[in-house]
A and B are shown apart, each in its own frame.
Chain A
Amino acid sequence: MSNNPAPNHRVSKNHAHVWAWLLFCATLTLLVVGGIVTTTDSGMAFRDWMTSDGTFFLTYDWLSSEGDKFIEHGHRLLGALAGFLAIGLFVVCYLTEDRPWVTKFSLVILAGVILQGILGGARVVFDERLLALIHGCTGPLFFALTAAMVVVTSTWWRQNKPASLAADDAMPRRTFQLALICTGLTYAQLVVGAIVRHSPDLTSQLAATVFRVAVYFHVLLAFVLLGHVLLLGMRCLRTGLQRWGGVGLLGLVLVQLALGMSTWVVKYGMPMWATRFVGEWTLVNRKADVISSAIITGHMVGGSLILVISLMIALRLGRQLRVLLPRVTASETRIAEAAQ
C-alpha cells in the first residue's frame, strides 16, 4: 500500500459519480411514473408536446392539475429533470473526467435522454400506441445506461481497489458470462413485457395474435430468466463475488414472480387453469385503483431493477476480470497497476 500514489484530488471529490447517482435516481422515479402513465392510460392527457394544453410545459401549473393530467405532466417534468441532470453529468464529466470514453459515454446518455423525450413526444403528437410501446422499451435501456454510468464513475472502479481476479479462474468468468446473459435475457423480457402491456390497446387486426404470442413468450422467458437469475444470485452468494448484487437479485426475482402473477390476476382475473386449484375468488378488480396500479407498475419497475443489477454485476465482474471493457487510462491507475 505504501507504494500506491496519494489519492487523486479529482478522484476523492467524485462529482461525476454524484451526478450519475442523481441521474440514476431521477430515472428510476421517471420510470415509475412512466409505468403509472401506462397503467392508468394517461399518456394522452394532453394532445400537445412540448406544450401542455398550450402552455409551455415548464410553466404549466402542475400542482393544480389532477387525474391523468397530474400523472402525465409529472412524467414530463421528471423527464425534463433527467434531461437537466444528463446535461449536468456531461458538463461535469467534460470538466473533471480524465477518461475520454467516460465523457463520450455521458454524451451518449445525454443523447439517449433527448431521444427518449422525442419518442415520448412523438407518441403524443401522433397519438400512436406503437410509439408508446417503443418508448416503453427504450426507457429501461436508458435506465441501464445510467446504472452503467454509476458503476464506471465509482471510486471503486477508478481506483481499481479490488484485487483483480485471475482471468483463467473459471468461476468468476462463468459468473461474469452468466451476468451478461441475465442482462440480455432481462432486457428481452422487458421488451416482450412491453408488448404484452401495450398490444391489447392496438387497433390493428393483428393485435390479438401479437398479444397471444407475446404472452406465451413472456411466460416462457420468465421461467428461463428465473433459472438464470437464481443461478447468478446463488453463485454470487456462494463465491462472495458481488454478494450485495446476488442478495438483491434473489429477493427481486421472487418479488417479481409474485408481482407478475398478481398483475395478471388484477388485470385479467384468475386464469382458468388456476381456478381448478384455488377456485373462484370473490375479488373484483377495480379499474384504476391504487393497489392494482401499484402491482402492475411494480412489476414493470421490478424488471428494470433486475436489469440494472445484472448489468452492474456484469460490469463489476468484468472490471475485476479485465475483460470486454475499455482499459483504464488514468495515469495514476496505470502506475498503481505497475506497482502491484
Chain B
Amino acid sequence: MNNSFGRIPWLGVLAVVTMLPGCDSVDPPAFRMNMVEAVSYETAPEYQQEIADVLAALFGTPDEPFALPATGLDQVMLNRSAGPAWSDEAGYNYGLYRKHCVHCHGITGDGRGPTAMFLNPYPRDYRPGVYKFKSTYNPAKPTDDDLHRVLINGVPGTAMPSFSLLPGSEVESLVEYVKYLSYRGEMETKLIQYVFDELGVMEKLDDEGNEIIDANGDPVMERIPFDPTNDPDQREAVMDLLAEVVDAWDGANEMIIAPTEDSIPAEKRSPEELLASIEKGRSLFFDKDKGNCYSCHGPTGLGDGQQDDYNNWQKAHKKFLDETAKLAEKDELDDLEASLLDDREEVAESLYPLRNAIPRNLRQGVYRGGRRKLDIFRRIYAGIAGTPMPGGGPSAPGAKAGALTEEEMWNIVDYVYSLPYEPASQPQVVTPKYTQSITN
C-alpha cells in the first residue's frame, strides 16, 4: 500500500484543493467602470478612482448594494438580488442576479457577462437605461410592468429566457435590481461628464481669488479633486444628477402609450373587414411617406432591407473605434495624444465585434417584444428605443403627430399579423418607384 500510494502526491492534491478557493475570491466582485465613456471623456485615473468612490457611496458594491432613499429603490429587494446565490432556512433564495443573470449581463449590468460574446443579440447593457420592449414613448424609461413582462415572457428568438417559473417576489426583486444597475450606470456616465465639464487641472488661486505664479512666472496649476463629501457644491451637483436619473424613471408610468378607444379594431370583424384592413396595412407598409416599413424589413417582409445600420449601443462603440482609428492615423502625436491612444486601443481591444442591427423577419411570427396586438401596435407607435426602428406616432404625450394615425397603425398590425401566413412565393406589390429606392 505504502509503495502504491505514497504520501507526497496526496499532500500535493490536498495543498492544491486548499489553495484553489483563493483563486476566484481574492477580491470580492466589483463593479467595472464604463471605460468607453471614461476614455472618451479623457478621464484621468485619479478621477476614475474618485468617480468609483462616489458611485460606491451612492450605490454600494455587488455584494452589498445600497440605494439612497431619494432613489426610491427597495433595499430589501436589492439585498435579495445581490451577492452570491444562497437560500435561507425558510427557503427564500438570495443572490438572484448572480444566479440567473450575471453570466450574460455581467456583474455591472454592462451586457458583458462571460457568455455574452457568443449570444445573438448581445445581452442588454443596462447602463444607458435604454430598453427596447416597453409600453412607453420612445425616449421614456420602461415601467416596472414592462421589465416584469420581459422577465416573465423572455425574449423569443434570443438567449433571454422566461422566468415565469420563479416565484413572483423573486421576479420583482430582479426588476428592482435591473433598475438599480441602470440608475448606477446612468449616474456613472453623468459623473464622468460632470468631471469633464466642471473639474480638471486649473490655475491655483490664493485666498483672494488671484492666480498664484511660480518662480518662472508661470501660473501654478492644481487638480481639483472630485470629493462631494467635503465639497458642498459638488455634493449638490451630484444629488441633482441623481434626481434627474430618478425623475425619468419615476415618470415612466405617465408615459405609457394607450391607444384611443375609437381606433382599436372591433374584436369580431368580418373576413371582409379584416382583409380590407390588411390591404390598407400593406399599402402603408410600402408607402415611403407613411409606414416606409419595406425600406428595412424588405419588400417581402423577410427583414432583407437595409442591413448596415447599428443599434445605439453598437453605434457608441463604432464611434469610439472610428475616433481611435482616426487618432492612430495621425502622423505625429504629442505625449498626451500618445497616452490617450494607448488607452483607447486598450479599450478598443476589449470591445466585442460590431454587429449590424438586422431588421426583423416578419414572416416568421417571432416578435421579440411580445406577440399581443397591443405589443405590435406599440412597436409601430413608438418604434424600438435604441434601434433604427422609428416610431410612427408622436414622441411624447402632446408632441407633434407622427407619420401614421392610430387607425393606420392598427392596419399595419393586421398586415404584420398576416405576413407569416402569406405564401412567400407570392411576390408583394412593389411599384417601380419603391423598388428603385431599395436598390439605391
Report which A residues bind B (CB closer than 8 A). 41, 44-47, 53-54, 65-69, 104, 107-108, 119, 122, 126-131, 134, 199-205, 207-208, 210-212, 215, 267-272, 275, 279-289
**A202 — which chain B residues lie within 8 A by C-beta?**
24, 114
* Closest CB in chain B relative to A218 CB, distance in Å: 12
Question: From B352, which residue of chain A is reached at the shortest CB distance?
Answer: A208
Beyond A128-B24, A130-B20, 18 extra complex contacts between A and B, CB < 8 Å:
A41-B99, A45-B87, A122-B17, A126-B25, A129-B24, A134-B17, A199-B114, A200-B104, A203-B102, A204-B24, A208-B112, A208-B114, A268-B115, A268-B118, A269-B120, A271-B118, A272-B120, A280-B364
Let me know if B156 and A288 touch, CB within 8 A.
no
Kindly state whether residue B428 has any CB partner on chain A within 8 Å: no
Kindly state whether residue B361 has any CB partner on chain A within 8 Å: yes
Let me know if B29 and A203 touch, CB within 8 A.
yes
Kindly state whether residue B117 has any CB partner on chain A within 8 Å: yes
Could you tell me the distance between the alpha carbons of A202 and B112 in the complex, rounded to whole angstroms?
Answer: 13
Q: Could you say which of B1, B23, B118, B161 contacts A285, with CB atoms under 8 Å apart?
A: B161
- Which listed segment binds A: B127-135, B163-171, B379-387? B163-171
* Closest CB in chain B relative to A62 CB, distance in Å: 13
Question: From A205, which residue of chain B is reached at the shortest CB distance?
Answer: B32
**B112 — which chain A residues lie within 8 A by C-beta?**
208
Let me know if B86 and A47 touch, CB within 8 A.
yes
Given contacts A268-B115, A271-B118, contact A44 B87 (CB under 8 A): yes
Let me know if B154 and A134 touch, CB within 8 A.
no
* Closest CB in chain A relative to B68 CB, distance in Å: 25
Could you tell me the distance between the alpha carbons of A269 and B157 in the complex, rounded to whole angstroms?
Answer: 7
Let me know if A200 and B114 touch, CB within 8 A.
yes
Question: From A274, which residue of chain B is reached at the shortest CB distance?
Answer: B120
Question: Can you report 6 residue pairs joining A to B where beta carbons are below 8 Å apart?
Answer: A201-B98, A268-B118, A269-B158, A282-B366, A284-B155, A285-B159
Let me know if B165 and A286 touch, CB within 8 A.
yes
Question: From A272, which residue of chain B is reached at the shortest CB distance?
Answer: B120
**B75 — which chain A residues lie within 8 A by C-beta?**
none
**A200 — which chain B residues lie within 8 A by C-beta?**
102-104, 113-115
Question: From B151, which residue of chain A is reached at the shortest CB distance?
Answer: A287
Let me know if B162 and A285 touch, CB within 8 A.
yes
**A287 — which chain B residues lie within 8 A by C-beta?**
100, 161-163, 165-166
Interface hub of A46, A268, A281 (most chain B Cβ within 10 A): A268
**B4 — which chain A residues lie within 8 A by C-beta?**
104
Could you tell me the distance between the alpha carbons of A66 and B32 in the complex, rounded to whole angstroms?
Answer: 37
**A288 — which chain B residues lie within 8 A by C-beta?**
165-166
Let me know if A211 and B115 touch, CB within 8 A.
yes
Kindly state whether residue B21 has any CB partner on chain A within 8 Å: yes
Question: From B367, which residue of chain A is reached at the shortest CB distance?
Answer: A282
Kindly state whether residue B116 has any CB partner on chain A within 8 Å: yes
Could you tell me the distance between the alpha carbons of A113 and B8 in the complex, rounded to whole angstroms?
Answer: 20
* Closest CB in chain B relative to A338 CB, distance in Å: 28
Question: From B154, which residue of chain A is reached at the shortest CB distance?
Answer: A284
**A134 — which chain B residues lie within 8 A by C-beta?**
17, 20
Q: Could you say which of A44, A128, A204, A215 contacts B118, with CB atoms under 8 Å apart?
A: A215
Could you tell me the distance between the alpha carbons of A108 and B4 in the complex, rounded to whole angstroms?
Answer: 11
Kindly state whether residue B153 has any CB partner on chain A within 8 Å: yes
Q: Chain B binding site: helix, strand, loop or mixed by DSSP?
A: loop
Kindly state whether residue B72 has any CB partner on chain A within 8 Å: no
**B120 — which chain A residues lie within 8 A by C-beta?**
269-272, 275
Could you tell me the distance between the alpha carbons of A286 and B100 in the complex, rounded to whole angstroms?
Answer: 11
Produce 1/0 per residue, B30-53, CB < 8 A to A.
001000000000000000000000
* Closest CB in chain A relative to B171 CB, distance in Å: 10
Could you tell me the distance between the alpha carbons of A193 and B93 in the complex, rounded to whole angstroms?
Answer: 27
Kindly state whether residue B284 has any CB partner on chain A within 8 Å: no
Kindly state whether residue B84 has any CB partner on chain A within 8 Å: yes
Given contacts A53-B89, A281-B366, contact A203 B154 (CB under 8 A): no
Given contacts A44-B86, A268-B119, A269-B119, contact A130 B23 (CB under 8 A): yes
Let me know if A282 and B157 touch, CB within 8 A.
yes
Could you tell me the distance between the alpha carbons of A199 and B23 in the complex, rounded to whole angstroms?
Answer: 13
| Interface size in chain B (residues, C-beta < 8 A) | 54
Kindly state whether residue B91 has any CB partner on chain A within 8 Å: yes
Let me know if B84 and A212 touch, CB within 8 A.
no
**A128 — which chain B residues lie within 8 A by C-beta?**
20-21, 24-25
Let me know if B98 and A286 touch, CB within 8 A.
no
Let me know if A44 and B113 touch, CB within 8 A.
no
Let me know if A286 and B161 touch, CB within 8 A.
yes
Q: Could you say which of B5, B25, B114, B157 contacts A207, with CB atoms under 8 Å apart?
A: B114
Could you tell me the distance between the alpha carbons of A282 and B120 in the complex, rounded to whole angstroms?
Answer: 14
Could you tell me the distance between the alpha carbons of A285 and B165 in the complex, rounded to whole angstroms?
Answer: 11
* Closest CB in chain B relative to A307 CB, distance in Å: 21
**A127 — which chain B residues lie within 8 A by C-beta?**
84, 86
* Closest CB in chain A relative to B416 CB, distance in Å: 15
**B32 — which chain A residues lie within 8 A by C-beta?**
205
* Closest CB in chain B relative to A283 CB, distance in Å: 7
Let me know if A280 and B366 touch, CB within 8 A.
yes
Let me know if A41 and B162 touch, CB within 8 A.
no
Could you tell me the distance between the alpha carbons of A47 and B32 in the complex, rounded to whole angstroms?
Answer: 28
Kindly state whether residue B365 has any CB partner on chain A within 8 Å: yes
Segment 201-243 of B: residues with Cβ below 8 Å from A: none
**B366 — which chain A residues lie within 8 A by C-beta?**
280-282
Let me know if A131 and B20 touch, CB within 8 A.
yes
Could you tell me the distance between the alpha carbons of A127 and B28 in the complex, rounded to whole angstroms?
Answer: 13
Let me know if B86 and A283 touch, CB within 8 A.
no
**B156 — which chain A residues lie within 8 A by C-beta?**
280-284
**A275 — which chain B residues lie within 8 A by C-beta?**
120
Question: From B87, which residue of chain A is reached at the shortest CB distance?
Answer: A45
**A280 — which chain B residues lie within 8 A by C-beta?**
156-157, 361, 364, 366
Let me know if A203 and B87 touch, CB within 8 A.
no
Could you tell me the distance between the alpha carbons of A53 and B366 in the complex, rounded to whole angstroms?
Answer: 45
Let me know if B364 and A211 touch, CB within 8 A.
no
Let me know if A126 and B21 touch, CB within 8 A.
yes
**A208 — which chain B residues lie within 8 A by C-beta?**
112-114, 116-117
**B62 — which chain A residues lie within 8 A by C-beta?**
203
Let me know if B361 and A279 touch, CB within 8 A.
yes
**B341 — which chain A residues lie within 8 A by C-beta?**
none
Question: From B20, which residue of chain A is reached at the shortest CB distance?
Answer: A130
Kindly state whether residue B107 has any CB partner on chain A within 8 Å: yes
Let me know if B162 and A286 touch, CB within 8 A.
yes
Kindly state whether residue B85 has any CB partner on chain A within 8 Å: yes
Could you tell me the distance between the alpha carbons of A268 and B117 in the complex, rounded to whole angstroms?
Answer: 11
Could you tell me the distance between the alpha carbons of A230 and B5 in the complex, rounded to whole angstroms?
Answer: 36
**A212 — which chain B residues lie within 8 A by C-beta?**
114, 117-118
Could you tell me the distance between the alpha carbons of A267 and B115 in the complex, rounded to whole angstroms?
Answer: 10
Could you tell me the distance between the alpha carbons of A282 and B360 in the complex, rounded to whole angstroms?
Answer: 13
Let me know if A282 and B91 touch, CB within 8 A.
no
* Closest CB in chain B relative to A61 CB, distance in Å: 12
Let me know if B24 and A286 touch, CB within 8 A.
no
Given contacts A47-B86, A208-B117, contact A69 B91 (CB under 8 A): yes
Could you tell me the distance between the alpha carbons of A314 and B160 in the complex, rounded to whole angstroms?
Answer: 43
